Amino acid sequence: MSSGPSERDLRRDDVLTAIQSLLLVVVVAMFVVTFILQPFRIPSESMDPTLRVGDFLLMNKQAFAPHGAMDVLLPRTPVRRGEVAVFHYPLHPEVDFVKRVVGLPGDRLHLRDGRLFVNGKAVDEPYAFYGASMPDSFRDDFPTLHSLDSNVDPAWWMTMRRDVRDGDLWIPAGKYFVMGDNRNDSEDSRYWGFVPEKAMVGKPMLVYFSVAAGPEKPRWWRVFRNVRLVR
């Protein structure tokens, strides 16, 4: 007559089940980090106040990835005007930047007194921040062919002159125009040019840690108070 599994056997089965569950979690986490999500830290104030210096965010790498087998699970999404994107900095591709896409291929845009116009219409930008600063005709009345900022890349200056018609900058096929939300303190496409489609890395999704709450708040508050979606 069988007495059934012993208590020792049951404990061993429980341990094996726990190990299997842990391994499954590790495999899924490695898959997600490798193919879907990637951490990214904000290094500068150019996206303030949307993203602050020191914010840690998760980026969806699949959003702008080339078409492939992953499309079945996570379809590639087009780059949309007005959304935040991470991309390889065109002048130094080993460096990743994060800015807001304000112009798509085929768009024509200009700025007047710092305000953005796309295809002849003023764009409502509730996320844009204009800090106090001295007037700057190149920065605020872009594109201008009458003044040159010392921070402008020389190659971009020549390219820009070719793509400006009737006061608008025309964006070529396969290129994007990006700007920081901190408009008066952001070296962006105004200074170094278009972002090629192939340089797009991913779409920020979630700020999971931020030190922006300040030292007067307890640690748990700084962690959880600033968890937020990127918009």
Q: Give the three-class secondary structure for 142.
A: coil
Rounded Cα distance between 215 and 86, Å, is 29
Whether this prediction's pTM lies above 0.85 is answered by no
Nearest to 70 by CA among 35, 98, 119, 22: 35
Which one from 61, 99, 175, 203 is the annotated catalytic residue? 99
Q: Look at the block and give the residue holding tokens 């921070």.
A: 151
Is residue 46 annotated as part of the catalytic site, yes or no? yes
Domain edges within the chain: 1-35, 36-229
Query: Is 99 in the active site?
Result: yes
Question: What pLDDT is stored for residue 64 in this prediction?
Answer: 80
pLDDT in tens, the chain (231 residues): 555 566 665 566 566 665 655 554 444 444 444 456 778 888 899 999 999 988 888 888 877 866 555 555 556 678 999 999 999 999 999 999 999 999 999 999 999 999 999 999 999 999 999 988 888 999 999 999 887 788 999 999 999 989 999 999 999 999 999 999 999 999 999 999 999 999 999 898 888 887 765 554 444 444 444 555 577
Residue 163 CA to residue 165 CA, distance in Å, equals 6
The secondary element (H helix, E strand) that includes residue 111 is strand 108-112
End-to-end CA distance of the chain: 67
Query: 222: Cβ–Cβ under 8 A, 6 or more apart, which residues?
Result: 210, 211, 213, 214
Which stretch of DSSP H or E encloses residue 51?
Answer: none
**Residue in 46, 186, 189, 210 annotated catalytic:** 46
Q: What local confidence, expressed as pLDDT, does residue 112 receive?
A: 96
Write down the pLDDT at residue 40: 83
Distance CA 200, CA 174 (A): 11
Query: How are the residues of the chain apportioned to helix, strand and coil, as percentages rounded to the nearest 5?
Result: 25, 25, 50
33: closest CA among 200, 229, 202, 196?
Answer: 202
Name which CATH class applies to 36-229: mainly beta
Nearest partner of 103 among 132, 143, 55, judged by Cα:
143
